[in-house]
Structure formats: C-alpha cells, structure tokens
C-alpha cells in the first residue's frame, strides 16, 4: 500500500441513567413513541433544564478512566442547528470547557501495545429519532422524542489510528472500559453505543494530513470496519488518479456496501456555539475527583495482564474472561474459593459456562451455577472422571442441584475400593481365558478388553487406573 492510513473516531455512548439529562423523563428503551416526553425535552418555551447529577458523575468517571485531565471549571454550550428531531433547535453540549481533555486509551494489536490519544470527552444530550416509513406511497416521516434529552457522552480521539486492526481494538477496548466502570450498557443494537469515523490517506513519510472524510450512520463495529476498508480503496484510487479527496461527510449504506456523499463537512463556526444561559457553570472539587477515582475498578487491560501473570491463565483465555467484568468477577470468585486450579476453572468457564450462557441467552449473573457450585464440581471431579463430570455439569444447569448431591443421588462416584474391584478382576479373568492367553502373548489390546469387561460389570463407575493396576498384578502372577 502506497499510502498511510490516518483514522480518528468519535464515539457516542448513552449514559446509563434512569432519567434524562435535564428533566425527569424516563430513558427506558423501546417504549411507545412519545410516551417519555415533557415540556423540557420537547423544548417548549419558558422551560428550564436541571442537570442530572448521575449523568454528570458518569461522565466524570469516564473522563478519569480514559486518563483525561479534568477541567475543574466546566460549562455547557448551545450548538445551534435545525433538524426535525431536535425540538429546541439547538443541542445542549460542551464546546469551550469539556469535562475531560488530553486522555488516552492503551490498546493491544497482535500483542503490541499502542496508545491512542483522546482529544476530549464531553457530555451532551441526545436528539429524537426520525422514522421514515417504507410502505409504498408513504410520503411522510415520523418523529419519536423519547430519546430526545437522553444523556450522551462523546469521546473524540486524536487522528492516531493507523490501521483497521487498531480501530477494531480501540472500539472493543473502549466498550469494555465503559462497561467495566458501569456508565453505559453499550448495547449497539439499541443505539447506546455508536461510532463515527474520520479517515484520510497520505504518502508514507509525509507529515501533513490529507483531507479527511467523516462517515456517519455506522450501527455496528462490523460496519465501521467495512466502511474503512471501502474508503481506503476509494481514496487511494482517487489519489492514484491525481484527484482530490473532498472534505465531506458520507453515509454508509450497509445494504449495498458503499459510502455516499451526504454533505460538505460543516465547520464549528456553523454551529454558532455560545454558553448555555439556562445552566450554571460547574466547578468540580478535587475531593470529588479523588472519590470518583477510587470508585473505578481495575480496568480490563490491567486485569488481563494480572490473570496471565498471577493466575497462569493463557493470554487468549484472559482476553475472553476479562471482556465482561462480571464474568471476570465470577472467575476470580471461583479461584478465591478453590485456592488453586485456576487453569482448570478457566477451562470450565470458557468451554462450558460460556456455551450455556450463549444457549440460554443470559448473563453470568443469572446463571444457575454459582462459583461455590462450580468449585465443588471441580473438586469432586477426580472421583467421577472427566466425562461423567460433564454430565453432572449439565444436570446442575438443569436442576440447580449441587455436584455432590447429583453424584450421590445417581450413584456416580467411582468405585476406588481396591478389594471390591479385585473381586471383579478375578471374575473377569476366569470368564475370559482367551483374552488372558492373548495378553500372555503380548497382545496389548487384550488388557483393554479385560478392563472393558470389568467396566461393564461396574456400569462404568470403576476407576480405570486402579483396574489397570489390578489386572497387571493378577495377570503377572498368573503367568508365573
Ligand atoms: P469536528 O468537530 O469537525 O467533527 P474534530 O476536530 O472533532 O472535528 O475531529 C473529528 C475526528 O476526526 C477526530 O476523531 C479526529 O481524530 C479526526 N481527524 C481529524 N483530522 C483528521 C485527518 N486528517 N484524518 C483522519 N481523521 C482526522
Ligand atoms: Mg465532531
Ligand atoms: Zn422530559
């Protein structure tokens, strides 16, 4: 590739609050259109906004977790524009004093750590949602203001990403940070997390950026990666032909997998930003910042690192375990209870627990098997063998009973009493003279056959290890 790729991302995350940013309306997703509105979020004349403290706290927490410098003085600005989903004709946002500036996120691509700088983090309100009916002849649009005024955090990176892989890792890392600190549910399918990408190309070694294209309307991480691949080829063709890349906003058409021009890129002065006169500025005390810092849990990258180095979990497994904070908590709880076998526990969680969660479409907090129960299964496993342990696991999921209870109820414990097994071994030897003779002639599978016969008698509950020893002993005395 002749060109270097330069990418920056703007992320919008809806904050997880009960009520909207400036009024008491519910933020619940999926309700009857326009059932969660009031005079404030509909922008009727004479109303006054009141800041939602939780939303403000969430944005402070996010800015700290993203390593930003926190502006102690912060206020809100009006970003003026007209659009049918924006009842006030301006969006209350932050422009001159963002809550956080100059942060960073460390990402890992192919086991290499790279730092993506964050330009700023700011708090603003959502717009409503336009619905364009597709019915034939429908020549109208509908607007749902339930979303208008939902608190929204915008996180803007520097143009620091140099490949599609870095973008993918950044999106995933950012998502897991927001989930870890509990400020957003990050449900992309509900629009709680959305990305806009800016991309430009330049010749390798050049130190000036090329013209960028901004792409909106990306509703999945997959769409982001697809549009970037598309733009890389579209822009490099233009440059190869000596044509200019226009500074513009494009929309991604997921059905046809192309990006289309929407408009020329707006400039910040187009928005006529000015300080919001209806809200007082905010002063954030150092004490508040310090308190918030202590409420931030260990972030996924660090936890991943610790799982690998202290709990001997593989790099790959640690990645899966730390993706979801509650899953990582579950694993750590198991390790704490068992005091050892972290490797075995991580295997159970990654193979069996995750499979069940997927099948039942539930989260770990709703799972029938508690950490105590999983540890009890792992501890009892040596007495029942691995394959029966898998059956017991399924039984636990279905009945909610503990492993020891199931083992007892179904009589699954292995017979490891040597004298009890020895009787059976003698029996089997007497009934199978041919196999005994074959064994004497050095036929290895004769022993397996004999063990199989003994297993049949015990209905699979004998310890194969003890049986093997007993047969070897008996048969060697026989042949003497
Ligand atoms: P605006 O306010 O017009 O959206 P910003 O300065 O906020 O512009 O930048 C938007 C995004 O574009 C940021 O994520 C930034 O990293 C990215 N960006 C800026 N310049 C370039 C460029 N030349 N190539 C790629 N991305 C860029
Ligand atoms: Mg922007
Ligand atoms: Zn309202």
| Per-residue confidence (pLDDT) for residue 370, from 0 to 100 | 96
CB atoms within 10 A of CB 133: 11
Which residues fall inside 5 Å of ion ligand 3, going by CB?
23, 25, 38, 40-41
Helix (H, G, I), strand (E, B) or coil at 46: coil
Which ligand does the CA of 43 lie closest to? 3
Q: What percent of the chain has pLDDT over 90?
A: 78
Partners of 9 in the beta sheet?
197
Q: How remote is the CA of residue 125 from the centroid of ligand 3, in Å?
A: 12
| Per-residue confidence (pLDDT) for residue 74, from 0 to 100 | 95
Atom of ligand 1 nearest to the CA of 160: 16
Could you report the per-residue pLDDT of 267-309, keeping only the tens digit for each?
A: 767 899 999 999 999 999 999 999 999 999 999 988 998 999 9
Pocket of ligand 1 (CB under 6 A): 6-10, 156-159, 198-200, 209, 212, 268
The domain spans of the chain are 3-288, 297-410, 418-479
Atom of ligand 1 nearest to the CA of 267: 3
pTM exceeding the 0.75 threshold for the entire prediction: yes
Torsion sign over Cα 354, 358, 363, 368: negative
Range list of H helices, 116-212:
164-180
Q: Check if the beta carbon of residue 105 is closer than 8 Å to that of residue 173.
A: yes
| Per-residue confidence (pLDDT) for residue 478, from 0 to 100 | 59
Partners of 114 in the beta sheet?
107
| Per-residue confidence (pLDDT) for residue 245, from 0 to 100 | 93
Which ligand does the CA of 206 lie closest to? 1
Q: How remote is the CA of residue 105 from the centroid of ligand 2, in Å?
A: 19
Partners of 275 in the beta sheet?
77
| Per-residue confidence (pLDDT) for residue 167, from 0 to 100 | 98
* H or E stretch at 193: strand 193-203
Could you identify the residue written with the tokens 């636990």?
396
What's the start-to-end Cα distance of the chain, in Å? 77
Q: How remote is the CA of residue 291 from the centroid of ligand 3, in Å?
A: 30
Could you report the per-residue pLDDT of 78-125, keeping only the tens digit for each?
A: 999 999 999 999 999 999 999 999 999 999 888 788 999 999 999 999
| Per-residue confidence (pLDDT) for residue 479, from 0 to 100 | 54
pLDDT band at 166 (very low <50, low <70, confident <90, very high): very high
Q: How remote is the CA of residue 402 from the centroid of ligand 2, in Å?
A: 54
Give CA separation, 177 vs 145, 172, 301, in Å.
Answer: 29, 9, 9
Asked if the model's pLDDT at residue 351 lies above 90, the reply is yes
Asked if the model's pLDDT at residue 144 lies above 60, the reply is yes
Asked if the model's pLDDT at residue 60 lies above 60, the reply is yes
Q: How remote is the CA of residue 150 from the centroid of ligand 3, in Å?
A: 9
Which CATH topology does 418-479 take?
Arc Repressor Mutant, subunit A (1.10.10)
pLDDT band at 43 (very low <50, low <70, confident <90, very high): very high
Q: Check if the beta carbon of residue 345 is closer than 8 Å to that of residue 378.
A: yes
How far apart CA 476 and CA 480 sit, in angstroms, is: 6
pLDDT band at 388 (very low <50, low <70, confident <90, very high): confident
**Exposed/middle/buried for residue 30 (C-beta within 10 Å: 0-12, 13-18, 19+):** exposed
Name the average pLDDT for the chain. 93
Question: Among 79, 122, 158, 198, which is best to mutate for testing ligand 1, by the most ligand atoms less than 8 A from CB?
Answer: 198
Of 394, 321, 411, 309, nearest in space to 359 by CA: 394
């Amino acid at each position: 590739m002749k060109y270097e790729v330069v990418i920056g991302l703007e992320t919008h995350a809806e904050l997880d609050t009960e009520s909207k940013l400036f009024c008491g309306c519910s933020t619940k997703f999926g309700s009857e259109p326009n059932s969660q509105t009031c005079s404030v979020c509909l922008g009727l004349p004479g109303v006054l906004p009141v800041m939602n403290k939780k939303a403000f706290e969430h944005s402070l927490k996010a800015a700290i977790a993203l390593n930003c410098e926190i502006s102690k003085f912060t206020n809100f600005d009006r970003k003026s524009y007209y659009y049918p989903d924006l009842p006030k004709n301006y969006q209350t946002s932050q422009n001159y004093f963002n809550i956080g500036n100059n942060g960073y996120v460390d990402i890992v691509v192919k086991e290499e750590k790279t730092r993506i700088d964050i330009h700023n983090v700011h708090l603003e309100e959502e717009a409503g949602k336009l619905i364009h009916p597709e019915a034939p002849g429908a020549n109208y649009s509908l607007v749902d203001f339930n979303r208008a005024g939902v608190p929204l955090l915008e996180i803007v990176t520097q143009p620091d990403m140099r490949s599609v892989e870095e973008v993918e890792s950044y999106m995933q890392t950012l998502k897991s940070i927001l989930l870890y600190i509990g400020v957003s549910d990050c449900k992309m399918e509900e629009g709680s997390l959305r990305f806009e990408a800016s991309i430009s190309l330049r010749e390798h070694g050049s130190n000036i950026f090329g013209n960028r294209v901004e792409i909106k309307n990306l509703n999945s991480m997959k769409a982001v990666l697809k549009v970037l691949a598309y733009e890389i080829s579209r822009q490099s063709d233009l440059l190869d032909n000596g044509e200019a890349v226009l500074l513009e906003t494009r929309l991604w058409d997921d059905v046809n997998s192309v990006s289309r021009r929407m408009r020329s890129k707006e400039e910040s002065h187009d928005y006529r930003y000015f300080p919001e006169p209806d809200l007082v500025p905010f002063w954030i005390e150092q004490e508040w910042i310090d308190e918030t810092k202590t409420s931030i849990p260990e972030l996924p990258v660090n936890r991943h690192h610790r799982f690998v180095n202290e709990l001997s979990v593989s790099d790959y497994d640690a990645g899966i375990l730390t993706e979801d904070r509650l899953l990582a908590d579950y694993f750590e709880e198991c390790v704490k209870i068992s005091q050892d076998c972290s490797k075995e526990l991580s295997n159970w969680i990654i193979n069996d627990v995750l499979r069940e969660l997927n099948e039942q479409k539930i989260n770990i907090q709703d799972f029938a098997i508690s950490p105590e129960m999983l540890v009890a299964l792992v501890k009892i496993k040596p007495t029942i063998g691995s394959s029966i342990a898998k059956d017991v696991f399924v039984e636990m999921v279905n009945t909610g009973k503990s492993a020891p209870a199931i083992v007892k109820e179904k009589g699954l414990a292995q017979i490891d009493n040597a004298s009890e097994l020895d009787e059976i071994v003698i029996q089997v030897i007497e009934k199978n003279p041919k196999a005994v003779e074959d064994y004497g002639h050095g036929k290895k599978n004769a022993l397996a056959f004999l063990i199989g016969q003994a297993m049949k008698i015990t209905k699979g509950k004998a310890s194969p290890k003890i049986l093997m020893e007993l047969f070897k002993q008996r048969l060697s005395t026989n042949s003497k």
